[in-house]
Amino acid sequence: MSAPIDLPKWADTALVPAVSVVAAFLVAGLVVVGIGESPLTATRLLLQGSLGTGEGLGFTLFYATNFIFTGLAVAVAYHAGLFNIGAEGQATLAGLGTALVLLNFSFLPGFLLIPLGILGAAAFGALWGAIPGYLQAKRGSHIVITTIMFNWLASVLIVYLLVNVLREPTNMNPETRAFPEQSQIPFVHEILAVFGIEVAPSQLNLTFFLALAAAYAIWLLIYRSRLGYAIRTVGSNPTAAVYAGISPARIIVIAMVLSGALAGGLAVNELMGYQHRLLLEFTSGYGFVGIAVALMGRAHPLGIILASLLFGILYQGGAELSFERPAITRDMVVVIGGIIILFAGALEGLFRRIVARVLTPAMRQARA
């Protein structure tokens, strides 16, 4: 049973994840039945709310942007054989970086300030990823535990800074003053309005295209560059990497720097694109859902974009659904995320075996 299961490539990359996601939705459907609601009505409301209107579609893509960034963050580390559970904390620190840049350089024009703000987010996120990476590479502390601890350290730090240091004395809420107007990343509906195209306003902003560009860049990096090859080698066989003249320690730190910087994209989308200030808990679990996104997308940028769209639909549709059916709160998305992580991640072997059992006789027949 421990022999590797040989599956055709299409089954491996598409069918196994698809089967586990379908199974996850069936289980989620059971939960909906369990609380006395109809899964079919729920699905209809969910799709209507997320794809049925222009506004809904905008929000869906806005959430998908967050998931693309956190999914890529988890995936890059994953390719290097690392499990980064710290996207949440890295994005929190990235938010701090953005805020510090935007509030201190508010005299700069927008075309300088926006890239600087994005760099600030990437740099702080990268730093919060690099420390656990360094500790893993040089001191052998387990990256999973360190990134968990860094998540909590980040949340404690941000509470302290927002309550005691960065808050406006006149403001009762733990948040910074608004970012300068020229630093706000334009909304897509505003841009389209300039060209005379009217679409319903939503939170969707240009960061969405930054996320797509990041996905393409990561694809180039991982599958088409020397560094990407080194990252994948370290991930699949560190001993072989050493023989090939690659330093695993260096690659681990680089992968975590990239991972943290990508997680910073969440702060760019949420803060520079929508909230326009730094506030508590803006990461609201996107970092953890990123794990589900990366596992579902097989750590491939295209898969991650598709998985992010699915979770975007769930997030936006879930919000609309909970409006219509108060019993099905948005926590349903967290449940579905959890089941997908369990099925597509921890129980992957089980689903591979099921798929193989169904496929093998069929393939034999085709050959005969």
Partner 1 sequence: MDVSVFGGLFDSSLRLSIPLLAACLAGLWSERSGVVDIGLEGKMLVAAFAAAAAAHASGSAWVGLLAGTGAAVAFALIHGFASISQRGNQIVSGVAINMLAVGLTAIVGNAWYGQGGRTPPLEGAARFDEIFLGHSAPVFLTLLAVPVTWFVLGKTRFGLRLRAVGENPAAVDTAGISVTGLRYAAVIICGVLCGLAGTYLSVGQSAGFLPNMTAGKGFIALAALIFAKWRAWPALFTCFLFGVLDAVAIRLQGVSLPGIGEVPVQAIQALPYLLTVILLAGVIGKAIPPRASGSPYVKER
339 touches partner 1 (CB under 8 A): yes
Q: Considering beta carbons, is residue 34 or 361 the nearer one to partner 1? A: 34
The interface region with partner 1, picked from 91-99, 200-208, 345-353, 356-364 by CB under 8 A, is 345-353
Q: Considering beta carbons, is residue 142 or 250 the nearer one to partner 1? A: 142
Pick from 115, 173, 349, 363: which binds partner 1 (CB under 8 A)? Answer: 349
Pick from 15, 127, 306, 342: which binds partner 1 (CB under 8 A)? Answer: 342
22 touches partner 1 (CB under 8 A): no
Q: Considering beta carbons, is residue 88 or 183 the nearer one to partner 1? A: 88
Q: Which of residues 115-174 bind partner 1 (CB under 8 A)?
A: 135, 139-142, 144-146, 148-150, 152-153, 156-157, 159-160, 164
85 touches partner 1 (CB under 8 A): yes
Pick from 18, 345, 354, 356: which binds partner 1 (CB under 8 A)? Answer: 345
Closest distance of CB 341 from partner 1, Å: 4
Q: Considering beta carbons, is residue 180 or 290 the nearer one to partner 1? A: 290
Spacing of C-alpha 186 from chain mean position: 22
Pick from 7, 15, 31, 178: which binds partner 1 (CB under 8 A)? Answer: 31
Identify the CA nearest to 266 among candidates 295, 300, 299, 289. Answer: 289
Pick from 291, 299, 321, 355: which binds partner 1 (CB under 8 A)? Answer: 291
Q: Considering beta carbons, is residue 91 or 332 the nearer one to partner 1? A: 332
Closest distance of CB 351 from partner 1, Å: 10
Q: Count the residues of the shown chain that bind partner 1, applying the rule CB under 8 A.
A: 50
Q: Considering beta carbons, is residue 83 or 216 the nearer one to partner 1? A: 83
Closest distance of CB 48 from partner 1, Å: 21
Q: What is the 3-state secondary structure (H, E, C) of the chain?
A: CCCCCCCCHHHHHHHHHHHHHHHHHHHHHHHHHHCCCCHHHHHHHHHHHHHCCHHHHHHHHHHHHHHHHHHHHHHHHHHCCCCCCCHHHHHHHHHHHHHHHHHHCCCCCHHHHHHHHHHHHHHHHHHHHHHHHHHHHHHCCCHHHHHHHHHHHHHHHHHHHHHHHCCCCCCCCCECCCCCHHHCCCEHHHHHHHCCCCCCCCCCECHHHHHHHHHHHHHHHHHHCHHHHHHHHHHHCHHHHHHCCCCHHHHHHHHHHHHHHHHHHHHHHHHHHHHCCCECCCCCCHHHHHHHHHHHCCCCHHHHHHHHHHHHHHHHHHHHHHHHCCCCCCHHHHHHHHHHHHHHHHCHHHHHHHHHHHHHHHHHHHHC
Q: Which of residues 219-258 bind partner 1 (CB under 8 A)?
A: none
Identify the CA nearest to 335 among candidates 71, 27, 35. Answer: 27
Q: Considering beta carbons, is residue 49 or 337 the nearer one to partner 1? A: 337
* Interface contacts to partner 1, rule CB under 8 A: 2, 31, 34-36, 83, 85, 135, 139-142, 144-146, 148-150, 152-153, 156-157, 159-160, 164, 288, 291-292, 295, 326-329, 331-339, 341-342, 345-350
